[in-house]
Amino acid sequence: MDPWPKLREEPAFRGRFRKIDRVWFLMPNAEEKDYEIAKEGEVVVALALTPDRKVILTRQFRPGPQKVLLELPAGWKNLNESPQEAIERELLEETGYAGNVRYVVPKVVHSAYSDMQRHVFVVENCTQIQEPSPDDSEFIDVVLMSLDDFRNHLRAGQLSDVGSGYLALDFLDLL
């Protein structure tokens, strides 16, 4: 099967953090079909581990589910930085930790109706080298969790990015 030809696109919504485009494609049956595609860019996420194998998580309120969630450190990649630079920055800003960065999977597809690409990392031997310095709209608690508790947290579906958690654990042969 070949990708469908894109016929045209136009902005459907422009917010502060999200953009949605209406995109028309030519389907194999020669009919046109339009889709709303979230234009979200690139994000980075990491399973970060201390030398004693504690998982470093962030606890923060998330407006979408309207809940306080435990999450892997993550964030948007800036235009002029590499994915590795982005995860090093995000980990340091959100948690104050730094460590040895290893790429797990470049550019995981986020969903069928988004252009988001997620870069997944493992950061090992993390030590806290400064106090967290989150963005003005981020209010974050840093939580250290055992690997067993983290696996249970994943199985319970309580992580906002379950897929990245499993990819990182698999990369480390810790499933």
Task: Tell whether 14 is covered by a domain.
Answer: yes
Using an 8 Å Cβ cutoff, are 82 and 146 in contact? no
74 and 156 housed in the same domain: yes
Structural domain including 33 reads 6-39
125 and 55 housed in the same domain: yes
Task: Tell whether 126 is covered by a domain.
Answer: yes
13 and 66 housed in the same domain: no
Question: Based on the structure, what is the number of domains in the chain?
Answer: 2
Phi, psi (deg, nearest 5) at residue 46: -140, 140
Per-residue pLDDT reduced to its tens digit, 76-99: 999 999 999 999 999 999 999 999
129 and 156 housed in the same domain: yes
61 and 11 housed in the same domain: no
What pLDDT is attached to residue 110? Answer: 81
CATH code of 151's domain: 3.90.79.10
Check residue 73 and report its DSSP letter: S
Tokens (6 digits) for 71: 């999450």
32 and 62 housed in the same domain: no
65 and 146 housed in the same domain: yes
18 and 57 housed in the same domain: no
Per-residue pLDDT reduced to its tens digit, 122-146: 999 999 999 999 888 889 999 999 9
Task: Tell whether 1 is covered by a domain.
Answer: no
Using an 8 Å Cβ cutoff, are 174 and 147 in contact? yes
35 and 47 housed in the same domain: no
76 and 63 housed in the same domain: yes
Tell me the angle at which helices 147-155 and 162-171 cross, rounded to the nearest 10 degrees.
Answer: 140
pLDDT in tens for each of the 175 residues of the chain? 999 999 999 999 999 878 999 999 999 999 999 999 999 999 999 999 999 999 999 999 999 899 999 999 999 999 999 999 999 999 999 999 999 999 998 888 888 999 999 999 999 999 999 999 988 888 999 999 999 999 999 999 888 899 999 999 999 999 8
68 and 81 housed in the same domain: yes
Residue 164 burial by Cβ neighbours in a 10 Å radius (0-12, 13-18, 19+): buried
- b/e burial code for range 57-76 (CB count within 10 A of at least 16 → b): bbebeeeeeeeebbbbbbbe
Residues β-bridged to residue 36? 22
Reported as type and span, the H/E element at residue 101 is strand 97-109
